[in-house]
Structure 1
Amino acid sequence: MSQDIVPATDPAVYSQYQAKWSALPDTAETWLARAREVAEVLAQDAPQRDHENKSPRAEIALLKHSGLLKLLGPKKYGGGEQLWSVGYKAIREVAKADGSIGMLLGYHLLWSTTANVVGTPEQIERTHELIISNNYFVGGAVNPRDSDLKITSDGDHIVFNGAKHFNTGGVVSDLTVLEGVLEGTEGHIFALVETRQPGIQFAHNWHNIGLRLTESGGVKIENVRVPWKDALGWDDASKKPREDTLLIPFATLLLPTIQLVFSNFYLGIAIGSLDFAAKYTTATTRPWPFGGDNKESATDEFYILERYGNFFAHLRATEALADRAGDQISALYGQYSGNRAALTADERGEVAEWVASVKVVTTDVGLRVTSGVFEVTGARATASKVGLDRFWRDIRTHSLHDPVAYKNRELGRFALLREYPTPSWYT
């Protein structure tokens, strides 16, 4: 199906922001202020856009205009050179208004910095220059639950073939991360490729209940050729993985890094739902007239005040936990990016347990808050035009990405036996 006949939002609606945001922020505080500005724009019609479920070409243009796609990139190529802790908070801010776009920003920040974790020094520099100088948005066709894409070697190139039931943001991306296993080996290879090519065929079948603007449907990969020099972490002469990139604990940091991406957009969505509900309660919710202690305003109702206070306390605690884990991820990257082989398995395991704790708490609290807000807004808040349901639908959809029960088990083994988990595609 051609992208021309797929319903999409119009990038022109946000054209004014290209000039307004022509200069990039230069501090952590101003980057987060920029993220809040983006959220304010998205919040204006978020329920309507969720209902229409169009391919988010305009929203990606808005992210490009804002500069947020460059937030983590080196300054020498035009990036913001911020820490992951700032990136996580930016994801959270955008997700408060629109969970789908917060998720797309999070996945982009992960995929656009994948070379930092598994690439060679030359690949890191080349990848950053490519992405930042062109202000590219990066999607990913990396779904470990499917059979890996098959990779064959053909002279100076590798060739990807296969399919994925899910990819994120690919339809609206400039570059796509592919991952597969090299034929005859157990070696996994990541590579960034141009999205717009005949060998990448999107199914346009993302019709799920939540995160409707993430374009997370299926994709077929057919004879996509990639130069060996672009196989991240592999030596193009020997065609083998480099021990200083792929065969060390540092290379497995990709997984806790993205798991914390998930938790931060869950948290943003949950905070956004409480903010949205508070505005609705203040403006629309009526007091209950049959309680025996009748109030003139819903905002004086004891049970409403109690629920809001309890939700607020749990979200504030969850935010503190997420920030601590973000600081720890940032510290590992800061300490070991120049000497990746020095990161120990125990240090990697420790940060993975912090991230797992955040995942458990953001899932539990997020689902509780996004469903519970209906208790303090009233029956009329269930109308589709209100859009309060999208917050719950968004967290419910993505929190099934990998069962949180396994995170609880993992944390149980750590608490009881002090065992760190073996790194996997989900840990």
Structure 2
Amino acid sequence: MTTTENRPGSDVIDWSAAPPPTDETGWLQRAREVRRILERDAAARDRAGATPYDEVALLKESGLVTLLGPVEHGGGGQEWPTAYRVIREVAAGDGSIGQLLGYHLLWFWAARLVGTPDQIEAVEADATRNRWFFGGAVNPRDADLTIREDGDDIVYSGHKSFSTGSKVSDVTVLEGVLDGSGDPGTHVFAIVPSEQEGITFHDDWDNIGQRLTESGSVTIDDVRVPWTSAAGFVDRAFQPRIYNTLNVPTIQLVFVSFYLGIARGALETGAEYTRGTTRPWLHGGQQRAVDEPYQLDLYGDYQSKLWAVEALADAVAQEALEIHRDAWNVTAQQRGAHEVRVAAVKARATEVALEITSGIFEGLGARATAAQLGFDRFWRNVRTHTLHDPVAYKRREVGAHLLRDELPEPTWYS
């Protein structure tokens, strides 16, 4: 959808007429309103694959982009347990938009993970007041961007295969390695405006799922940043903390959130279709599909499994809350033990989401394979993103901790 008249949320809800929510209950209700708008035409928008400018505008108008922002600057003042549940709600309506929101919230928060106190305050104030939407060009499987010093500036150059958010972002997070800093090198994060001559988004995201995430490749050509904006650096020297390494467990829980949201969307959309459209088997002796014993078993099994993983995800998010609240004093033991729990829920969320989104067709019937209905999008979305990093390595982290009392070493994926 590209016109104002057809934009999701157009002439539906005027959020500006009401004060923003002040607690988790209110923000979850706001997220459900966004979900209902998105899910009305999610299948059609998935087929069209258009750049989701209007969908991101909807996230801004609803206030969800500033969910984690300081209240004094107009933000929601919420914490990660609420954010993860909000991402799940949005992803239930549209998996792509749930991923965009999740990545945005991670990059919005990244100043707290890496930055100095002054940088954190400045970034969050500007991002909240201006409702910036964040993208990121930080794919660790590619060669790092190179950074050269030029007076009081650092200058980024290079290419990344993936840059989620790309054209719909207001700002992009860059990460690279400083020339001459050896191996593994000095890594530097910075936030830059997305619309500038030095950044070229290549519009080459053409995957089977998560089609509206704008995750194509990007070329960075002499993008200049003041040294004072290098995240976590003081007088050109990085200020390390254990908390600097919490970006990976946090983004992994973002992944869990939109996997579970997509699974929830498949289950509830499927149940609605089964109640209203699916016919009973002609030799089964039932008058309604909802009375078929195999339907009751299927939906009961999937609901039970989803509830279980959602509960685990909520518990792990709550465990992380104390780590986030005591960011300056996190220990390696705390960080490692938390990552093991994150690995466990990531593994279970992956398996359950794939099972539900592929198996739900058993409850729908042959007519539900019509392309117009787009029931396949749920599986395509989960299958695409769950290949981000091998889930076997997540299970291995859990096993190594249980059998050998080992904690995962912080990496770009653990």
- Same fold by TM-score, threshold 0.5 exceeded? yes
Q: Which position in structure 2 is the counterpart of 1:353? A: 340
SS in 2 for 1:162: strand
Aligned with residue 20 of structure 1, among 10, 15, 18: 15
Conservation of the 8 A alpha-carbon contact between 1:367 and 1:392: yes
Report whether the alignment pairs 1:296 with 2:295: no
| Matched residue type, 1:69 | V
> Number of residues paired by the alignment?
408
Cα offset for 1:387? 1.2
Shift of 1:9: 2.7
The reply on whether 1:160 has 2:160 as its aligned counterpart is no
3-state DSSP class of the match of 2:224? Answer: strand
SS of alignment partner, residue 400 of structure 1: coil
Q: Which residue matches 2:255?
A: 262
Separation in 1, partners of 2:232, 2:124: 15
d(CA) in 2 for partners of 1:74, 1:132: 7
Tell me, in whole angstroms, the C-alpha distance in 2 between the residues paired with 1:147 and 1:296.
60
Match of 2:264 in 1: 271
Q: Which residue of 1 aligns with 2:311?
A: 320
Residues 36 and 93 of structure 2 are in contact (CA less than 8 Å); yes or no, is this contact kept in structure 1?
yes
Matching residue of 1:241: 238
Q: Secondary structure at the match of 1:147?
A: coil
Residues 341 and 398 of structure 2 are in contact (CA less than 8 Å); yes or no, is this contact kept in structure 1?
no
Deviation, structure 1 residue 15: 4.5
Give the CA RMSD over aligned residues: 1.2
1:367: Cα distance to partner? 0.2
Amino acid at match of 2:237: K
Match of 1:51 in 2: 47
Provide the rounded CA distance (Å) in 2 between the counterparts of 1:10 and 1:422: 48
Task: State the Cα deviation string for residues 235-278 of structure 1 (Å, max 9, x = none).
Answer: 1x3x1212xxxx22111011100000000000000011000000
After TM superposition, the runs of 4+ consecutive aligned structure 1 residues lying more than 6 A away are: none
TM-score (norm 1): 0.94
Q: Deviations over 1:31-88 (max 9, x none)?
A: 1100000001101111000010000000000000000000001112111110100000
User: Alpha carbons of 1:201 and 1:11: their partners in 2 closer, same or farther (altered >3 Å)?
Assistant: farther
Question: Residue 10 of structure 1 aligns with which residue?
Answer: 3
Amino acid at match of 2:216: G
Deviations 1:391-427 (A, max 9, x none): 0000000000011111111111111111110000011
Q: Tell me, what secondary structure is at the counterpart of 1:158?
A: strand
Cα deviation, 1:200-246, whole Å, max 9, x if unaligned, reads 001101110000000000000000000111100011x3x1212xxxx
- In structure 1, the residue corresponding to 2:142 is in which secondary structure? coil
In the TM superposition, residue 19 of structure 1 has moved relative to its aligned partner by 3.6
Name the structure 2 match of 1:397. 384
1:224 aligns with 2:223: yes
Aligned match of 1:413: 400
User: Secondary structure at 1:139's aligned position in 2?
Assistant: strand
SS in 1 for 2:157: strand
Give a deviation string over 1:375-399, Cα, whole Å, max 9, x none. 1101111111111110000000000
Q: Is the alpha carbon distance of 1:10 and 1:350 closer, same or farther for their aligned partners in structure 2, counting shifts above 3 Å?
A: farther
How far apart in 1 are the matches of 2:222 and 2:238?
Answer: 22
In structure 2, the partner of 1:106 is 102
* Residue 123 (1) aligns with residue 119 (2): yes
Q: Does 1:80 align with 2:76?
A: yes
Name the counterpart of 2:138: 142
Name the SS for the 2:196 alignment partner: coil
CA distance in 2, matches of 1:200, 1:11: 27
Query: How far does residue 17 in structure 1 lie from its aligned partner after superposition?
Result: 6.0
Among 32, 38, 49, the alignment partner of 2:34 is 38
Equivalents in 1 of 2:16, 2:287: separation in Å? Answer: 45
TM-score (structure 2 length as normaliser): 0.97
1:18: Cα distance to partner?
7.5
Residue 388 of structure 2 aligns to a residue whose secondary structure is coil
Question: Which structure 2 segments of 5+ residues have no match?
Answer: none
Match for 1:331: what amino acid?
E
User: For structure 1, which runs of at least 5 residues remain unmatched after alignment?
Assistant: 1-7
Residue aligned with 1:181, SS: strand
